[in-house]
Structures are given as structure tokens and as C-alpha cells.
Amino acid sequence: MKVVAYFQLNEVRWAIPERDLAELRHQFPSVRLVSLEDDAHLADELVDADAFAGWHFPAQHFGAAKRLRWIHSASAGIEANLFADLIASDVILTNSAGLHVVSIPEHVLATMLVLARNFPIAFRLQQEKRWERFEIIAGNGGIRELAGSKLAILGVGAIGRSLTNKATALGMHVRVLRRNPDRAVPGAEQVVGHEGLHELLRWADFVVLAVPLTSETRHLIGTAELQAMRSDAFLINIARGEVVDERALIESLRAGAIAGAGLDVFATEPLPPESPLWELPNVVLTPHVSGYTPDYFGKMLAIFRDNLGRFSAGERMRNVVDKRLGYVADSE
């Protein structure tokens, strides 16, 4: 069996370290593991590959990869892998869901605290060397506490469940939206389906987007949804930029229709310099780093190693994506 590993995507470039390669080859002597550091030989190596591990499989080479049976995504997001030929095929797609159960919920909590304590105003005053306590205390709807606040989480995969646990531990009231509202979420006081979205948005102080990007969730938050939110509520997006209608969000932020936003993902990445989001005073902006963890690739490699053993033995694999739904169905 042949496995091709290729982890190159924009500015993120990584290759399996020699030590890990040696361990994998020792553990799986019947597997020929080819690790590539550039795409010069990628097309040739994929022709007879049985499996592929990387950010996403290059769709232009899919037709020639006649032996391909399994693709493993190095990230939890797999929308780039969901091209028509793959969806229609019998090729198994797995992802690295579970990598972010600490980093992303902690990033969300940090963002909520920054917004709740009016740190954006404090940062601006610091740059201006101005001592204005009242501007921080009363600005942008005033300082608030997370304890007792209402948190709506849209999407309860591994990240949403972890955030629920952490938020309830801080005394927050948590309600969640999921595809199947009949499935309870430990710690959440209520679970609603899509038909209850607007009511959930009207209830929340903080709205966190943790859904996968699918045809159903693209522009899940648009003008009507932003209008449903309270003017003192915050929107936090750590899902995908396309889940939000960015133009509608900018208009809402400019008008003060919502109190502010914490954004880690954007419709276009890198975010263009001309985007108004850079300079809006009620936005906390980070460059798609919420999922970063110091041992990201080590954790990803552990999932891949486990699944390689399962795949080799013909056993049920972890994190199998429902290619029609666009996510790991067991998690939702």
C-alpha cells in the first residue's frame, strides 16, 4: 500500500519529520510512505497512491489517481476536499477534528473577555496616552461580566461541546443550535434546530459560530440574522468566513446594530488591506490563528497514525466525513 503525504498550503509548509517517518515505516512495514516537500513530483506520485494525507487533495489529479481509497485532511475543515468527483466516489474522507478542543474554545473565551471588558477601547487609549476610565467603563454598551451572560453556540461538534463545558464553568448560560435538536448537549440549557435560530440570536449576549462550511451554512448569518441580534450583543466567528455575509456584518458594525465582533476567519484570506474590518473600532481581528496549538502537527499526526492502522486492518476509522453533509456526522 502506498500513502502520499503532502502538507503545503499557502504560507503553511510542513513535512513529516524524519524521526516520525522512521517510526511510521517501522510500525507499518507493508506501507510505502512517500513524504513530499514540494509539488514537483506530486502528480506522478498520486497516480498509484492508495491514500493521501495533507490539507486537501488536488482535484485536478483525482481522475488519474485510480487506486485512491482514502484521503485524510490535516485540518477539521474539509470544504476544499468536497469537489464533485470525490463526493460521488467511494473514496473515504477523514479529517483532524478534535485537534482544536482546547485552542479554539480558549481563543473564543479570550475574545469574549476582551470584548466584555472593553479592551479595544483601552488599547486605543493606551496608544493615545489618555487616562479615560469612564470611556472604558461606559463605552460600547459598557463593561459586562461573562458570569451570568447568555452564550449561543451555533454548531456543536468537538469545538462547540468543549466551549459549552468551559463557558458553563464560568457561570454562563449556554444554548446551542444543532442540526438534530433532539440530541442533548451536556451543559447546554437548551438545544434548538435551525427553525429556532432567530429566537436564539435575540436571546444571546454572545453568538459564537462553530459550524462547518456547507451549502446550508454559507451566509448562515446575513442581514436578517444580524437584525435579530440585540444591539448590545457580540458575534464571534471561528468557523469559516463564508458563514457570514461580510458586507452585511460591516454595515451592522458601522451602524452599531450589534455591539461588536471577534473575527478570526474571513471570506477572503489574507484579509485585503482595503477591508473596512481592519479599522472598525468595535472589531477584534486575528489572522486565522484560533486553531493554532504548539503541537498542532504532532496531534494531527497521531490521528493520522491511528487511522492508518485502522485503514490497514480494514477497521472502522475515526472522523469519517459524511461527504454529502460536509462534516463528521457523528459529531453533530
Q: Single out the catalytic residue among 117, 288, 305, 310.
A: 288
Integer angstrom CA distances of residue 181 from 18, 178, 195, 218: 46, 6, 10, 20
**Residue 77's closest CA among 159, 195, 181?**
159
Judge residue 315's burial from the number of C-beta atoms within 10 Å of its C-beta, 0-12 exposed, 13-18 middle, 19 or more buried. Answer: exposed
Q: Cell for 129?
A: 496616552
Written as one string, the DSSP assignment of 149-217 is -EEEEE--SHHHHHHHHHHHHTT-EEEEE-S-TTS--TT-SEEE-GGGHHHHHHH-SEEEE-----TTT
Told to judge if 41 belongs to the known catalytic residues of this protein, a careful annotator would answer: no
- β-partners of residue 4 are 34, 52
Strands 260-263 and 190-192: unpaired
Q: Single out the catalytic residue among 145, 189, 216, 269.
A: 269
- Which residue shows C-alpha cell 477497521? 315
Told to judge if 269 belongs to the known catalytic residues of this protein, a careful annotator would answer: yes
Q: Single out the catalytic residue among 100, 161, 240, 318.
A: 240
Told to judge if 288 belongs to the known catalytic residues of this protein, a careful annotator would answer: yes
Find the distance separating the first CA and the last CA of the chain, reported in whole Å: 32
Q: Are 69 and 92 in contact (CB under 8 A)?
A: yes
Active-site positions read: 240, 269, 288
